[in-house]
Amino acid sequence: MAYTKIEQYDESVTNGLIKNYKEVLGQLGEDPEREGLLKTPERLAKAMQYLTQGYQVDARTILNSAKFHEPVSEMIVVKDIELYSMCEHHMLPFFGKAHIAYIPNGWITGLSKIARVVDAYARRLQVQERLTVEIMNAIKDTLNPLGVAVVIEAQHLCMMMRGVQKQNSETTTSAFDGEFQKNSTRSEFLKLISSDLSRR
């Protein structure tokens, strides 16, 4: 089954969100009928559908759409994959980079598909911890590799714009499976991405 990029909006969902966002603007003390806000509910309705379009995407279908048999068994690393997601607690963005590696066990996938899998799970209401594990499990279940490693570094606006307001805080999460549970393999992976992990 081929993977198809989705860039369309559900009219009924859009209309429902428009109505709700107009009410929210009013409850915040704004006038939703003033010139600058007239189209804001519609823009926001479409933006939220775009930012959560991952619910309509099957990550395993993405990987299977470019799955190839190759007799290779060396580590494959795709690093510095930009990601943008929405914290499910405050619905504020968090953003950063994902570093992903796997050791093939007879099957590989197109490199761009790894990045698309990141988007499939990031474009949802998320927590970084779950996002990390979901990416790992999708690769593990589809390619059956000897091991998978995922590291995500991200900044959370819910910690920067509100709450503790720590502007320089960064959160790192990791998930390791198979061969990457061995210290030597994990160390090799971390060394390959260490230049990114040390960048501030």
Residues marked active site are found at 87-90, 128, 156, 158
**Spatial contact of 41 and 17, defined as CB atoms under 8 Å apart:** yes
- Give the three-state DSSP class for 52: coil
**C-alpha span between 92 and 103 (Å, rounded):** 35
**C-alpha span between 150 and 133 (Å, rounded):** 8
Number of Cβ atoms within 10 Å of the Cβ of 93: 17
Residues ≥6 apart with Cβ < 8 Å to 147: 102, 103, 176, 177, 178, 179, 180, 181, 185
CA torsion angle for 152, 157, 159, 164 (degrees, to 10)? 160
Identity of the amino acid at 34: R
